[in-house]
Structure 1
Amino acid sequence: MTFSLVARCAETGMFGMAISSSSPAVAARCAFARAGVGAVASQNVTDPSLGPLTLDLMQGGMSAPEAIAEVQARGQFMEYRQVLAVDGQGRTAIHSGPKSLGIWTQAEAENVASGGNLLANDSVPQAIVAGFTGAKGHIGDRLIAAMRAGLSAGGEAGPVHSAGMLIVDKVAWPVAELRCDWTQGCPIENIATAWEVYKPQLDAYTQRALDPREAPSYGVPGDE
């Protein structure tokens, strides 16, 4: 019911992930990232605890493949789970349990991994990886390009209704966390529209948190 990617920007060290599903509020359960550590997707009959666990293992010194192997050993009902990870060196790993739903498959390249279940066809994750590696610019732009590529390749077997994009940088909180929890339209395009609005303001929101004295004006009535 889901397709996603986790990714690292080799130039900036930012991590990001994007995801879409026919289920409501997919990003609330499946999207995880930690600055300086990595990004994780936990999906397909989702166990949200596997996301923080994978990040903790990588923060403790494990590579993405080592962390996924440990999650496979510790997790419950792993035959139903899909877990994707990318670490600070751009190494990737994916666990896809044999009881993943419908057509399920995965694809990896340096700095990016994609997986999906209940897919329209088995080419979707590879299209997502190609969409990310072939795109230029901010990691957010590349995540959107990748998800659009996955949708163009067929996406999920049925219509998707929710999507999300999560980006972390050098601070302890996400610098971007955009979600469409339910729509009858295209949730990926809703996220893309939100990103167009948010991207020019991303640095300003971070600066306001770090030191509002150095931040740009708020652009609202009464702001001087």
Structure 2
Amino acid sequence: MTYSIAGRCPRSGMLGAVVTTSSMAVGSRCAWAEAGVGAVLTQHRTDPRLGPRLLERLRGGQSPEEAVRALEAQEDGLGWRQLAVIDAGGRAAFLNGAMIASVHKGRVGHDCVAAGNILRTTAVVDAMIESFEEHGDQPLPERLLRAIEAGNAAGGELKQVKSAALLVMHRESFAYVDLRVDLSPRPLEELRFLWELYQPTADEYVGRALDPGAAPRAI
């Protein structure tokens, strides 16, 4: 009951993911990313422990494909899971567990990987990939948002989506963007609204953290 896409920007080095689902608070469970390492999505009977474990494997030098296959060999219950992983070099992989019975799909694109389950149609995943690739001139957060909006327009999932999240890492240990809609009848519209408010100040918030003396004085 979730669809999502993870990607990277080769110009800026940003890594991130966007996700939506028909249950609440998806951002606290499904999306993980680390600057200079990669981004991970873990969904369908979600185990939030898998995100940090996959990032640790990427940090240790494994490719996304190697990380997913190693986890598949070691983790009980992975047949119920759906995973999508991309690293800082743009390599990507996904896993569709054998126990997923609904309409589902994973697909690797150029600098991105998308996945979805309990979908109206597998075209949802294709639409996300195609949108991400089409908008390569846009900053990564915008590309991710446009991609998931395209997936929604292509049919989305069977139930009404209720939560959504956008996570993007840049150079720092803290997130460049971490926006969440935890419960709403229109979470993607609200996520778009939050991003358009946050976008003009995103670099300023980074500056406040790194060099507070140079930050504009609040009035």
Q: Which band: TM-score by shorter chain?
A: over 0.9
Partner of 2:157: 156
Tell me how far 1:172 sits from its aligned partner.
Answer: 0.3
Quick one: distance in 1 between partners of 2:123 and 2:92?
19
Partner of 1:139: 140
Quick one: distance in 2 between partners of 1:101 and 1:87?
28
In 2, are the aligned partners of 1:50 and 1:75 still within 8 Å (CA)? no
2:157 maps to a residue whose letter is E
Determine helix, strand or coil for the equivalent of 2:55.
helix
In 1, are the aligned partners of 2:84 and 2:106 still within 8 Å (CA)? no
Partner of 1:47: 47
Quick one: distance in 2 between partners of 1:70 and 1:169?
27
- Gaps of at least 5 residues in structure 1 are none
- Gaps of at least 5 residues in structure 2 are none
Quick one: distance in 2 between partners of 1:31 and 1:216?
32
RMSD: 0.9
**1:148-167 CA-partner distances (Å, limit 9, x unpaired):** 10000001012101000000
| Distance 1:101-1:195 versus aligned 2 partners, 3 A rule | farther
**1:18-42 CA-partner distances (Å, limit 9, x unpaired):** 0000011011100100000000000
Determine helix, strand or coil for the equivalent of 1:108.
strand
In 1, are the aligned partners of 2:3 and 2:21 still within 8 Å (CA)? yes
**1:82-132 CA-partner distances (Å, limit 9, x unpaired):** 111000110000011022251111111121000000001111111101111
146-155 or 65-74, larger mean C-alpha shift: 65-74
Quick one: distance in 2 between partners of 1:190 and 1:155?
16
Partner of 1:121: 121
101-110 or 193-202, larger mean C-alpha shift: 101-110
Partner of 2:177: 176
Determine helix, strand or coil for the equivalent of 2:76.
coil
Q: TM-score scaled by structure 2?
A: 0.97
How many pairs align?
218
1:214 maps to a residue whose letter is A
Partner of 2:213: 213
29-38 or 106-115, larger mean C-alpha shift: 106-115
- Say whether residues 1:166 and 2:167 are aligned partners: yes
Partner of 2:96: 96
Tell me how far 1:198 sits from its aligned partner.
Answer: 0.4
Quick one: distance in 2 between partners of 1:216 and 1:106?
44
Determine helix, strand or coil for the equivalent of 1:217.
coil
Q: TM-score scaled by structure 1?
A: 0.95
In 1, are the aligned partners of 2:85 and 2:93 still within 8 Å (CA)? yes
Quick one: distance in 1 between partners of 2:216 and 2:39?
30
Summarize the alignment of residues 3-42 of structure 1 with structure 2, pairs less than 5 Å apart: 3-42=3-42
Summarize the alignment of residues 50-129 of structure 1 with structure 2, pairs less than 5 Å apart: 50-129=50-129
1:12 maps to a residue whose letter is S
Tell me how far 1:139 sits from its aligned partner.
Answer: 0.5
2:138 maps to a residue whose letter is G
Quick one: distance in 1 between partners of 2:87 and 2:101?
26
In 1, are the aligned partners of 2:207 and 2:215 still within 8 Å (CA)? yes
Determine helix, strand or coil for the equivalent of 1:175.
strand
Quick one: distance in 2 between partners of 1:217 and 1:205?
13
After TM superposition, which residue ranges in structure 1, 4 or more long, deviate above 2 angstroms?
none
